[in-house]
Amino acid sequence: MSKISDAFTAGKAFIPYITAGDPTLDVTKATILKMVAAGADLIEIGIPFSDPVAEGPTIQAASERALRNDINVDQVFAMVAELRKDDGVTIPLVFMTYVNPVFVYGVEKFMAHCNAVGVDGVIVPDVPFEEKGLLADACAGNGVDFISMIAPSSEDRIAKIAREAQGFIYVVSSLGVTGVRSNDKFETNIDSIVAQIRRVTDVPCAIGFGIATPSQAAGMAAIADGAIVGSAIVNIVAAEGVGAPEPVYDFVKAMADSVHGVG
């Protein structure tokens, strides 16, 4: 059984995201430790990339800041290794990345390194379901879950994607890119998408894109098995810089408490 399933065994899961190396890897590491302490059940770590097509302006800017610091993939792997070995982090960790950095690094080498340092899964938004064989075999051979994404535009492909899903399913709340939404309303029929998924698989599903408040997170967790928050956290890091770990702790604790309180 996938280690990622551990994030969902105690109830609803809160999943925060952070861009590695923004503003520095030391700050990223300290912030991850604070997120663990605040009750995060699984953490997505973004590998900075110059063309993150699924991301809105907030996370694009975070990647640009990290790349200006010359952050590279090996440094991110080393940070994860330290979190596991030196800091005793045991919750699932997942990379959010794009296919270009994986190909440049070498697909087999990348997935083997994930296994070696303790990365449990990868999310690669620019690899469509029909082309997942580009990475899925190397993932399977190294015990790394290839996390599927299901969006409102998936339509008649929802069941097909869900049947082959591993770890958890990332349900995209709305069309477009990542970013904070201004109110509690999401334009798409998330209930219907989750219902279609649950008809064909028991793999947990968590909803992301646009969630920024405890009420939004709780609302999404009530529909699915968890909630994912990225841009709202990256905004805090952008505003606070090296002082980000404590305010991120406060934010993540409020969000996690809200999600964990959903029956």
| Separation of first and last alpha carbons in the chain | 24
- The pLDDT of residue 179: 42
Work out how many domains the chain is built from and give that number. Answer: 1
Q: 0.85 cut: is pTM over it?
A: yes
In this structure, the number of other CB atoms found within 10 A of the CB of residue 43 comes to: 22
Contact 18, 45 (CB under 8 A): yes
- The pLDDT of residue 28: 98
* Domain interval for residue 78: 3-260
192: CATH: 3.20.20.70
- The pLDDT of residue 189: 83
Residue-level pLDDT, tens digit, the chain, 263 residues: 479 999 999 999 999 999 999 999 999 999 999 999 999 999 999 999 988 777 789 999 999 999 999 999 999 999 999 999 999 999 999 999 999 999 999 999 999 999 999 999 999 999 999 999 999 999 999 999 999 999 888 878 999 999 999 999 999 986 544 444 444 555 568 999 999 999 999 999 999 998 999 999 999 999 999 999 999 999 999 999 999 999 999 999 999 999 999 97
- CA 7/CA 131 separation, integer angstroms: 27
Backbone angles phi, psi at 117, to 5 degrees: -95, -15
